[in-house]
Structure 1
Amino acid sequence: MKIKANEICKIIKGTLIGDPNINISSFSNIENAKKGNVTFLADMRYKKYIDSTEASLIIVPRINIKTEKTIIKVDNPVERFIEILNLFSPKKTEKREIAQSAKINQNSKISQNVFIGENSVIQENTKINSNCIINSNTFIGKNTKIGSNTQIGPNVTIYPNTEIGENCIIHAGVVIGSEGFGFIQKKDGIIKIPQIGKTIIKNNVEIGSNTTIDRGTFNNTTINSGVKLDNLIQVGHNVTIGENTIIAAQTGIAGSTKIGKNCMIGGQVAIADHITIGNNVKIAGKSGVIKNVPNNKILQGHLAFNIKDFQKSYIHFKNLTKIVSDIEQLKEKNKIANNN
């Protein structure tokens, strides 16, 4: 596929400076781009590459940039570059058919235009709505509901009584609705608590590979609309995650915790059970959160506290050896002075 710079400019509604007739055939990051590539500049740390890059076209913010390169100025280079990526990477259309090796219970309901891959299992009373894609070796338990246009990757396990909304993307190896980690310790052993709640995934949710979401004990585990979960995340029983929250890899969320809307949680964050995290909260990677967090807070550290306080404290921590040495020297001088 080839498209001219002026055509791209019309699509992303930008301002073109340079040659409008340059042909663009692919895309790349700014450091490695070659002739015929389109790239973008959003982070000013990469501005140093603007003249050395071989890219034929650069999408840039609406700021003063001096360069001989052909550029298109836009309000948000990242969002506009995503539009270009979609232009060059149209969605693949699967041939909508049901594999002969798939085992589908006769009491399940499969709507029109659904793809079901090899060796998948669909149990009784499950409803799969139109335009879904169920890839190979996936298990979907009884009484499950899956909304229209949802894509489920290979080797996914969806336990019974799960509800998944429309336009979701479930990547390979995900487990939804497994038993929560519920036990009571007694002197003579450990008692297992039955986990009889559901897992509810609402619309436009994306779940990364090998993430596990446990079903509720009595109440439901709920992932609200627009949530994006990275790979290798553990979501405990009875957890609620609010709309449009995004969580990075290897984060663990213990049972019955509530996370608000529009939060951003970094990788390897540990979140304790039975706490509430408010809306618009940001938590830096490797933080530990053990108590309630009000709306609009930014946290970092183990155990997590206000990000500015943490950063100030960390500066002192790095200088701790020198500070201790200075104190010891002052003590020695004071001792000598007292002896005199």
Structure 2
Amino acid sequence: MLKSQSGRWITLCLIAVLAVTISGCNLASTPGQNTTAISGPPTVQIAAPPANATYLENVAVNIQALIGNAGTDIDRIEILVDGTIIQTMKAPNPGGAPSFSIAQSWQGAGAGQHTISVTAFRADGSSSAPASVAINVITAQPSPTSGATQATGGTTVQPTTASSGGAATSAPAQPTTASSGGAATNPPAAPANTSAPAASPTPSVPYVTTIQGINVRNGPSTKFNPPIGSIAADQTADLLARTADGQWFKIKYYNGAGWVFAAYTKPSIDTASLTVDAGPPIPADTATPLPTAIPATAAPTQPPTTANLVLGNINFSPGLPIVCNKTVAITIDVANQGGQPTTTSCT
């Protein structure tokens, strides 16, 4: 390899000659030669729900999957929960796209762990490997019961109820109870005409109606993963607050609260009047460490030279034109017309 400036010029000339003479091998290619027909089994990748996500019982679980290496002969898609088919999608790819996605909702039933599987089948009976994901379903906490009666001294005392005219009426007479001496005693009579407090009207509570199945999260961002649950389409939930930009709504979710994406809901009021809630801090992205740069090694400095290398005849064996996939010997005459020899070998 020539290290002098003239040697580098000769190397560039050689590369240019070879590129011009061999480029003819690629000019004959015709369009469509790189088109490859789809073959082999299809592939399935589950996009939702995330693995080991937790949902409340009887809450809709959104199932989404991406089918790859598809084509025109996908016959059906089978979706299973714990080995039982919950949905079979016939001819899911009428356009014959190489890849497409499917979506299905399942109402979480039965507390415990459940396995969701998706399999794609071709018309010839071949199928993809089943794609599976495990999720957890938990039972919702029961709400405290209201209207409990109060026991005093072994006798159940009924609350006083108000009549339609607003006056209070006494509770029905209670059965007699036995005293410690064995004699039957009557319970104390309820005071007559005791006024009950008037019930205050319940103000109208704003709500949202879901346009489609949506996830419920712990905060106003998709970075709050996994979701704490989901809501099926055409369901309602009490509307509590909104973010400053109005993109997320805070709703009542079972005995607590959750956040949903506002674009997938229809509010019952003008949300400008809602309380603005920033929600919990959004989790920070995990930074990917950058690779450490390797310092470049300086190239050795070549001593100056007064050699003058001149390119002479170029011979091809066999002669032109050069045929593709055939060995060609190229001979080049180089003459040094300078005052000094080159400082490195030419071989």
Shorter chain as denominator, the TM-score bin is under 0.3
**With structure 2 as the length reference, what TM-score do the two structures score?**
0.19
Structure with the bigger percentage of helix: 1
Query: More relative contact order in 1 or in 2 (CA 8 Å, sep 6+)?
Result: 2
Structure with the bigger percentage of strand: 2
Q: Which has the larger radius of gyration?
A: 2
**With structure 1 as the length reference, what TM-score do the two structures score?**
0.19
